[in-house]
Amino acid sequence: MGPILVVILRLFVPLTILRWPFWGALVAILLDTHDQNMVRWFGSGWIPWLDTAFGQHYQLTDKLLDMYYLTLELIVVWRWQNGMIRKTAQYLYFWRLLGFITFEITRWAPVLILGPNVFENFFIFCLVVERYFPQFEINRKNLPIILIAITIPKIAQEYMIHVLDSRPYVQFKQYLFGLFR
């Protein structure tokens, strides 16, 4: 039941992005980050082969579910009034979509470094600025700096995950929780 529950959650919870973009996006990211843990918590129940199948075939499902919630974020972007910010976000979405499609066709992991998910970081950055720093203006002068600042960590993350096959957040989590034992 775990994989089925996770897919259902990843399909329905991101719909909250349309009503509450910031919080919906954060919850969608949390679900994406913890989906495999949730499957372990809930187990596969009455479908014993599903644990193996889930582990082997979930990568494509995960990427499709990622693109699903990113598309919901794109729908929110289409409502943004600032044309420069809207166009930038749209470009970043389609760049990620191109990276995703290219990776699925070639299965060459470095493609994900060339097409990182900067869209999501930009989306959240814009929502944080709008909500908590309305006096800050994103303009043509500071947009390149913003994009560099959110792209470099994302490329580093993609490199560690898809090229080095390293999961630094798992190691950090193990270290952090080890401190509290």
Dist. CA 17–CA 99, nearest whole Å? 23
Last residue of a domain, one of 25, 54, 74: 74
Same domain, 160 and 110: yes
Whether residues 171 and 89 fall in one domain: yes
Same domain (yes/no): 94, 163: yes
Residues 123 and 178 in one domain: yes
Residues 32 and 97 in one domain: no
> How many Å separate Cα 127 from the centre of its chain?
15
One domain for residues 125 and 68: no
Q: Give the closest residue to 93 by CA, choosing from 121, 51, 130.
A: 121
Instruction: Please give the pLDDT value at position 171.
Output: 60
151 plus 171 within the same structural domain: yes
Instruction: Give pLDDT, residue 46.
Output: 41
14: nearest Cα among 84, 64, 54? 64
- Give 82's contacts (C-beta < 8 A, 6+ positions apart): 138
Q: How many structural domains is the chain composed of? A: 2
> Of 40, 74, 108, which residue constitutes the final position of a domain?
74
* pLDDT for position 69: 97
pLDDT averaged over 10-residue windows placed end to end, the chain, 181 residues: 80 96 96 77 54 59 91 97 97 95 88 88 97 95 97 89 70 57 49
| pLDDT for residue 144 | 97
Question: Which residue range is the domain that position 153 belongs to?
Answer: 80-181
- Burial class from Cβ neighbours inside 10 Å (0-12, 13-18, 19+) for residue 118 reads buried
Backbone angles phi, psi at 44, to 5 degrees: -95, -5
pLDDT reported for residue 167: 64
Q: Which residues contact 11 (CB under 8 A, 6 or more apart)?
A: 65, 68
Size (the chain), residues: 181
CA-atom Rg of the chain in angstroms: 18
The b-or-e profile of 85-105 (16+ CB within 10 A means b, else e) is: beebbeebbebbbebbeebee
Q: Are residues 97 and 171 in the same domain?
A: yes
Q: Which of 47, 74, 101 is the last residue of a domain?
A: 74
